[in-house]
A and B are shown apart, each in its own frame.
Chain A
Amino acid sequence: MAEPETLKEALQAHFGDRLQHADVAYGEVGVEARPRDLAAVMTELRDAEPFRFDQLMDVIGVDYAAYGQDEWITERATDTGFSRGVGDPSTPRLGLTGIYGVQEITEKTGRRFAAVYLLLSVEHNHRLRVTCFAEDDDLPVIDSVTGIWPAANWPEREAFDLYGIVFDGHPDLRRILTDYGFVGHPFRKDFPLIGNVEPRYDVEKGRVIYGPVEIEPRVLVPRVIRDDNRYKGRPGSTEERADG
């Protein structure tokens, strides 16, 4: 396998500022491309010589709206009672789909939805991760790469289905994993884990109807972010890694 650092330098030399945030972490090369450069960059990544990424492994939608949010106080101690839970059920927290409920996401960052492309070069045996953030949070649009790798067809449909990311130029952008007639994009952080509706049989109407979900959402293990000493200096290169 080629050295990740070499690939990173080759990428920076070839693309200049069209690729940003190039870094090597955990032995993997990751870069970020702007939506307007994406199609051209991807075509070059496939065809240009030192790269030759002839395979697209996956296209992954990510919703960054609740990134870094936890449900547990880890830093300071409390002097009222024993609970370290952040807030209570009446203060809903963004993106956390348990007892803390779901908050409407109003902040517009332009970095909420991302499509992550995992590329593999069979010829040169190296991998690359390209991230592309959609500029508009309300209607995230990213160019489709189906014309470059036909393998992107279903993964893009999936990201559209689950996250509502629209892939411009996709030949057949339909829902794929969710049910016929499904409403919403279930993997978004403001979509509750238990869903919004559930089907049941209605005796009077004599058919299956959808009604609001009846189960109570609950959290068994709260989400905890700990500032672990062992991970100081990460994310970064592998040399910075402290022994566990």
Chain B
Amino acid sequence: MAEFQSYTLNFGPQHPAAHGVLRLILEMEGETITRADPHVGLLHRGTEKLAESKPYNQSIGYMDRLDYMAMMCNEHGYVLAIEKLLGIEPPLRAQYIRVMMDEVTRILNHLLWLGTHGLDVGAMTAFLYTFREREDLIDVYEAVSGARMHAAYYRPGGVYRDLPERMPKYEPTPYRGEKELREMNRAREGSVLDFLDDFCHRFPACIDDYETLLTENRIWKQRLVDVCVVGPERAKALGFTGPMLRGSGVAWDLRKKQPYEVYDRLDFDVPVGTNGDCYDRYLVRMEELRQSTRIINQCVDWLRANPGPVRLDDPKVSPPSREEMKDDMESLIHHFKLFTEGYCTPPGEVYAAVEAPKGEFGAYIVSDGANKPYRLKIRPPCYIHLSAMDEMIRGHMLADVVTLIGSLDVVFGEVDR
């Protein structure tokens, strides 16, 4: 029999397990990987350069398109940086709405991650289950912002509008009976908050369903346990954040350690792994689903009890209402200036970070006092995680590449920017 020789394998960019447009050059020894060279940038759009040519507010929509699985968290990081520059703080209700929507986003992201990770590793069923719940939360996105994905909902000084009183409902079709329709719309009769309340009550059982399918599944464990182990010190050196860092046993969560918005008023736990393998990262994210549900629940209760403004009453950064604008000269001028020129920020440099579902998402802005950022740098968590791939995958088998990509939870809108 001929001896194995080392060879190079091209993986992607059009590979269903590459989660987008990842091209991997794998140097292999038999089925063992000796070096992985990820080629990224196939989705590079120059978001940061584009932001330099636009007033601050016009780039919010671009943030959605970075990590398109955690849309509002990206907006949050960007908007926080602007607020830091301007020295403004949104009203409390807006902060609660942001936190609630961040956690909705976290669940959205983790559900997609879980479904596709399972699909990659060979567990088809979980995917079908997770997308059922994702659909409900995407409807929440639609209700609050009008868009199912690219919300552009956060604004410096608050959010675009208050939570709506109605949820979008399913409509009758020839294929749906009235009874079925009533059942589908059962939770949608009230406001968004009612819907989320109902969701928080039924979602833990759904997580149990996913866990029944996976957590003790021996194929799942064979594929994940002890694959791509990273120790806590190494994880810090490699720049890991979020579930990747916590999976390695470092109790670090920006929501706890450097709380922004109202996270310090909320009660939740931070799950931490012990082994730093793919399975621990899976467990950490599963627990985060439960904790996010807890946070949403608390936010729903607070938001129901405390109506109020959701945007800062400062016409220099947030536009006046339509009625004011038509009645009042000053408001008309403010409106006109805001939408033709935007607002100028004071000169300086700021960095604001949020705990996005994938890790620390940060926005670094250099301002020279203009109405556009002089330089905007996005700190994408996936980009740094993916850069550690070479080190993590060495000595593993080809099949583990797919496990690792799933476990890294990469999204190329964000890696390539």
Contact surface of A with B, Cβ cutoff 8 Å: 1, 25-28, 30, 54-58, 60, 62-63, 66-68, 70, 97-98, 116, 118, 122, 125, 127, 129, 149-151, 153-155, 175-179, 186-187, 193, 219, 221-228, 230-231, 234-235, 238, 241, 244
Contact = CB atoms under 8 A, between A and B. Distances in A.
A177 B417 contact: yes
Interface in B4-38: none
B132 interface: no
Contacts of A238: 87
A187 B370 contact: no
A228 B173 CA distance: 57
Contacts of B375: 60, 62-63
Given A26-B85, A98-B53, A151-B384, A223 B239 contact: no
Nearest to A179: B41
B351 interface: yes
Contacts of B46: 186-187
B84 interface: yes
A58 B53 contact: no
A193 B53 contact: yes
Contact of B370 (A57, A97, A176, A223): A223
A68 to B, nearest CB: 5
Given A186-B46, A231-B346, A118 B236 contact: no
B122 interface: no
Given A1-B258, A62-B375, A68-B368, A226 B41 contact: no
A98 B351 CA distance: 27
Interface string B69-110: 000000000000000111110000000000000000000000
Given A151-B388, A187-B48, A222-B341, 8 more contacts: A1-B257, A116-B364, A118-B379, A150-B391, A151-B238, A155-B383, A187-B49, A244-B314
A28 B377 contact: no
Given A125-B257, A221-B55, A58 B340 contact: no
Interface string B334-355: 0000001110101111110100
B374 interface: yes
Contacts of B84: 26-27
Contacts of B391: 150
B201 interface: no
A186 B353 CA distance: 26
Nearest to B350: A26
Interface residues of B, number: 61
Contacts of B85: 26
B370 A225 contact: yes
Contacts of A63: 375
B385 to A, nearest CB: 10
Interface of B: 40-41, 44, 46, 48-50, 52-55, 58, 84-88, 236-239, 241, 250, 252, 257-258, 314, 316-317, 340-342, 344, 346-351, 353, 360, 362, 364, 366, 368-372, 374-375, 377, 379, 383-384, 386-388, 391, 416-417
Nearest to A231: B346
A97 B53 CA distance: 8
A28 B239 contact: no
A74 to B, nearest CB: 9
B390 to A, nearest CB: 9
A177 B387 CA distance: 13
A68 B369 contact: yes
A30 B374 CA distance: 18
B379 A177 contact: no
Nearest to A126: B258
A238 B350 CA distance: 13
Q: With a 10 A CB-CB cut-off, give which of B58, B87, B236, B377 has the most chain A CB atoms.
A: B377
Contacts of B347: 234-235
B87 A241 contact: yes
Nearest to A224: B371
B346 to A, nearest CB: 4
A244 to B, nearest CB: 6
B340 to A, nearest CB: 7
Contacts of A27: 84
A62 B366 contact: yes
Contact of A55 (B49, B239, B314, B386): B239
Nearest to B386: A154
Contacts of B237: 54-55, 149-151
19 contacts: A26-B84, A26-B350, A28-B349, A57-B360, A60-B364, A66-B374, A122-B236, A150-B391, A177-B41, A177-B417, A178-B41, A221-B55, A221-B340, A221-B341, A222-B341, A223-B372, A225-B368, A231-B369, A244-B317
- Top 10 A-B pairs, shortest CB-CB distance: A151-B239, A231-B346, A154-B387, A177-B41, A235-B348, A234-B346, A60-B377, A226-B344, A177-B44, A58-B379
Contacts of A30: 349
Q: With a 10 A CB-CB cut-off, give which of A55, A116, A231 has the most chain B CB atoms.
A: A55
A217 to B, nearest CB: 10
B41 A176 contact: yes
Contact of B87 (A68, A176, A223, A244): A244
